[in-house]
Amino acid sequence: MAKVVAVNISSEKGVRKHTVPSCRLVMDHGIEGDAHAGNWHRQVSLLAQESIYKMQAMLTNIRLKPGDFAENITTAGIAVMELPIGTRLKVGREAELEVTQIGKACHMACEIRTIVGDCIMPREGIFAVVRREGTINPGDEIEVIAAG
């Protein structure tokens, strides 16, 4: 079963996000209180916990956690980087997202790249827009409801 591991926000761009107990997804905006929210095609970012583990395996002196790669939703049990653009996801009981972008151009000066020397988000992170509002929490199920 695919699920939400953590939900993460930040008040500014280019920094690691901190984990919050829950978040609200808002139409034409993204996550309430997150610096990356806005009426554009990258309202919400997702990264698999498995991708974080992959990066952790290469490091011995730094402990990585959800939000460190500036992702809004840390997932488990779903290969988000393999979802095609247009895929619709139901997250929790009511929220829905639509995948709009796979990967991104790397910000060479982002906080995690400076600390770790690499960032997996540009290669394995995905971005989505909110298609149905709702509150999401760690432990919520993620379901593919329409293939891209």
What residues does each domain of the chain span? 3-146
131 close to 97: Cβ distance less than 8 angstroms: yes
Contact in structure between 24 and 135 (CB atoms under 8 Å): yes
Band of the pLDDT at 5, cuts 50, 70, 90? very high
Q: How confident is the model at residue 111 (pLDDT cuts 50, 70, 90)?
A: low
Interval 118-132 mean pLDDT: 88
Question: Parallel, antiparallel, or unpaired for β 73-76 and 44-48?
Answer: parallel
* pLDDT, position 70: 87
Give the bridge partners for 136, in sequence order: 23
CA 40 to chain centre: 15
Return the pLDDT at 62. Answer: 81
Q: Given the structure tokens 């000066």, which residue do they identify?
A: 109
- Residue 101 sits at φ, ψ, to 5 deg, of -160, 140
pTM strictly above 0.75:
yes
What is the mean pLDDT of the segment spanning 21-46?
96
Pick the more confident residue, 147 or 126. Answer: 126
In order, the DSSP letters of 82-148 are GSPTT-EEEETTTEEEEEEEES----TT-HHHHHHS--SHHHH-EEEEEEE-EEE-TT-BEEEEE--
Matching CATH number, 3-146, of 2.40.33.20, 3.40.50.620, 3.40.50.720, 3.60.21.10:
2.40.33.20
pLDDT by residue (tens digit) across 44-54?
999 999 999 98
Amino acid letter, residue 100: T
